[in-house]
Amino acid sequence: MVPAQYMQDQHMDLDHPQEEYQEHQSELAPEPEGKRMTKLRGLLDKALYETLRTCNFDAIQECFPSLAAANPEELRVAHEKVCTFLDVEVHNEFEQIINERSIIFKLNALDRLIEDAEQKGRTAGSSTILNLSPDVAVRARTVPTKEAEIERLKAELERVQLDNRRLGNALNHSKAEQAAIKIDLLESYNEFQEGSKNASSIPIHEMEQLLDAAMLHVQDL
């Protein structure tokens, strides 16, 4: 019920390994819920409330007008059961996720890190310490990765452009060859046409004499 990507974003590399926490979890008191866990639970309740409010009984009646007219009480009971089931299942799955992934521990550790950093900033009293919002801090962490991806894409673009230039040169060369072949064919055709024209202008008896002379010449060879 809770988006997997949201929960994965909470998986952070903190000072205390998850394995160590899970080993001693049964020996220690339950981890109290900090500010971020309380806010996360509140967001769940708000989202679930809005979902159930949207799927109200009036909306169900519009979806099943015949049943609403014939037996509205039965439809109301079914609606209540569905809402109860959804509420219970969502909370159960939410609790399962936070337990399996130690979300409370991780969020509390993040709270402590932030509080320690703020305390050190107040103690140092230095004006050079930046008060960055979480969004700005996250974006700052992702800048090197994004810059590396940009460089990779630039290199890929240069490679594609080089391939395109090579293919363009090969295409131009092929076009030049085709043009030369076309010229040769045209010249051969013109010569054939000229020969045909000349042959048609020779009288038949002269053409026979030329053919006889040619045959004699071939026999002499």
pLDDT per residue, tens digit, the chain (221 aa), is 334 433 344 343 434 444 444 444 445 567 788 888 999 999 999 999 999 999 899 988 898 888 889 998 999 999 999 999 999 999 999 999 999 988 888 888 888 888 888 887 777 655 555 666 777 777 777 778 888 888 888 888 988 888 888 888 888 888 888 888 888 888 887 877 777 776 666 677 766 676 677 677 666 66
How many CA atoms does the CB half-sphere of 159 hold within 13 Å? 6
Distance in angstroms (rounded) separating the CA atoms of residues 83 and 154: 53
Helix axes of 35-54 and 103-124: crossing angle, nearest 10 degrees: 130
Q: Running DSSP on this structure, what letter comes out for residue 127? A: T
Q: How many Cβ atoms from other residues are within 10 Å of residue 75's Cβ?
A: 19
Question: What tokens does 190 get?
Answer: 């013109």
Instruction: Report the pLDDT value the prediction gives residue 84, as an integer from 0 to 100.
Output: 93
Question: What tokens does 141 get?
Answer: 């962490």
pTM: 0.42
Phi, psi of 146, deg, nearest 5: -65, -40
CA 171 to chain CA centroid, Å, is 34
CA torsion, ordered 194, 195, 197, 201, to nearest 10 deg: 140
CA distance readout (Å), 195 to 46, 186, 190, 200, 206:
96, 14, 9, 9, 16
Question: What tokens does 77 get?
Answer: 């009971």
- One-letter amino acid identity for 175? K
